[in-house]
């Protein structure tokens, strides 16, 4: 054990990806103290080669082995760095589990992350794909991201406005080899600013017997109940949540499709002339829900979730994903793209 990190050679990654597929890395570096990053990036393998930063392993598919070193950050500090009467800035280390962090904030009377309860993964991974659920995206609550910048060889603080956040996207996704997120600053509220409009949330609160204005912790509980019902638990059935992003298309394309398929759900896009389609609905219409080829399958509860029933390989899951995308393209003329990062193959 060297101060601040631990190296494992030829490491197995099966238990470090929520699909539970077999994969290896030539070198796995567990980093408990991010001040060791400068020293680590002095080593040839990290300095010159590809480096994969692994959080909870809940948003990637190993279609092959990791091509170079894998970094896993385990730093766990959470600090309130600015405490006001009605708001607070909280800084959490990259290694903190996301759901544990959401519960920590609620336990400290801080609101804003309740709709993001039970999302797998870590705090450090949250800004990378701008995690979102039930009407909230994490960018709504992020003030800044701290990251080790491989170009500059030091930790930089990047203001939220500079992070290029968009639907399931950010600066960190565009340039995956440049930054290692080390901590995130969140701007949270003591008086809730609840978002209850996403389909199913008010109904769930009513089913819990809550009428009137719920507490933020009750909204989190409602979200947890909906997620547990709709999304398979990766601890029981390997999966990486939504495998495809909801496609964003020109409004005219969406309207033509909806005229042909009146039952098709349609959501607002990021601008007036775009719309977001439901990838789950498109896939469902093509008959994939519950489909299974050996151990690679599609969840019977949610058409957007690919599942590993036991010993599927990453390549088998990728092959299934490609066939799903081709069928959606052939039937609806819409290209759907994977949400998780694919390692060892290109889409």
Residues 303-342, one symbol each (x = binds ligand EPU by CB under 6 A, - = not), give xx----------------------------------x---
Tracing tokens 């060892």 back to the chain, one arrives at: 344
Burial of 335 (0-12, 13-18, 19+ CB in 10 A): exposed
The question of whether 339 is a catalytic residue gets the answer yes
In the complex with ligand EPU, the residue whose CB is nearer, 133 or 145, is 133
Please pick, from the candidates 41, 62, 101, 134, the single residue that binds ligand EPU as defined by CB under 6 A.
134
Piece in contact with ligand EPU (CB under 6 A), picked from 5-13, 83-91, 171-179, 299-307: 299-307
In the complex with ligand EPU, the residue whose CB is nearer, 61 or 280, is 280
- Binding footprint of ligand EPU, residue count (CB under 6 A): 20
Q: Is 112 in the site for ligand EPU (CB under 6 A)?
A: no
- Out of 16, 91, 139, 168, pick the active-site residue: 168
In the complex with ligand EPU, the residue whose CB is nearer, 64 or 232, is 232
In the complex with ligand EPU, the residue whose CB is nearer, 91 or 276, is 276
Q: Is 225 in the site for ligand EPU (CB under 6 A)?
A: no
Closest residue by beta carbon to ligand EPU: 241
Please pick, from the candidates 143, 146, 289, 291, the single residue that binds ligand EPU as defined by CB under 6 A.
289
Smallest distance from ligand EPU to CB 204, Å: 12
Give the Cβ contact number of residue 50 at 10 Å: 14
The question of whether 150 is a catalytic residue gets the answer no
The question of whether 168 is a catalytic residue gets the answer yes
- Find, among 155, 184, 152, 145, the residue nearest to 35 by Cα: 155
Q: What's the rounded Cα separation, in Å, for the pair 188 and 124? A: 17
Smallest distance from ligand EPU to CB 40, Å: 30
* Contact set for ligand EPU, span 8-47 (CB under 6 A): none
Residues at the site binding ligand EPU, with contacts judged by CB under 6 A? 133-134, 198-199, 230-231, 241-242, 245-246, 265, 278, 280-281, 284, 289, 302-304, 339
């Amino acid at each position: 054990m060297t101060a601040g990190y631990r190296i494992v050679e030829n490491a197995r990654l099966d238990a470090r990806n929520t699909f539970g597929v077999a994969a290896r890395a030539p070198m796995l570096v567990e980093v408990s103290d991010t001040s060791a990053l400068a020293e680590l990036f002095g080593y040839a393998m990290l300095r010159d080669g590809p480096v994969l930063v692994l959080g909870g392993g809940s948003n990637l598919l190993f279609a092959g082995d990791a091509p170079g070193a894998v970094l896993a950050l385990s730093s766990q500090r959470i600090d309130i760095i600015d405490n006001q009467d009605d708001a607070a800035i909280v800084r959490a280390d990259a290694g903190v589990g996301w759901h544990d962090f959401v519960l920590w904030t609620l336990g400290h009377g801080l609101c804003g992350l309740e709709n993001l309860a039970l999302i797998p993964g870590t705090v450090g991974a949250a800004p990378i794909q701008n995690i979102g659920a039930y009407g909230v995206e994490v960018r709504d609550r992020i003030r800044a991201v701290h990251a080790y910048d491989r170009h500059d060889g030091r930790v930089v603080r990047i203001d939220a406005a500079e992070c290029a956040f968009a639907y399931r996207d950010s600066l960190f996704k565009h340039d995956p080899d440049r930054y290692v997120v080390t901590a995130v600053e969140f701007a949270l509220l003591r008086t809730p600013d609840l978002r209850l409009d996403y389909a199913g949330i008010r109904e769930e609160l009513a089913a819990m017997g809550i009428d009137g204005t719920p507490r933020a912790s009750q909204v989190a509980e409602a979200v947890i109940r909906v997620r547990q019902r709709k999304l398979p638990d990766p601890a029981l059935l390997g999966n990486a949540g939504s495998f495809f992003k909801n496609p964003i298309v020109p409004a005219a394309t969406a309207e033509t499709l909806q005229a042909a398929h009146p039952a098709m759900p349609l959501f607002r896009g990021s601008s007036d002339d775009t719309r977001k389609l439901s990838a789950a609905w498109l896939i469902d219409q093509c008959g994939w829900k519950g489909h299974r080829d050996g151990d690679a399958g599609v969840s019977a509860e949610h058409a957007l979730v690919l599942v590993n029933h036991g010993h599927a390989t990453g390549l088998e899951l990728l092959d299934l994903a490609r066939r799903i995308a081709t069928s959606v393209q052939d039937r609806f003329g819409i290209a759907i793209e994977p949400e998780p990062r694919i390692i060892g193959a290109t889409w």
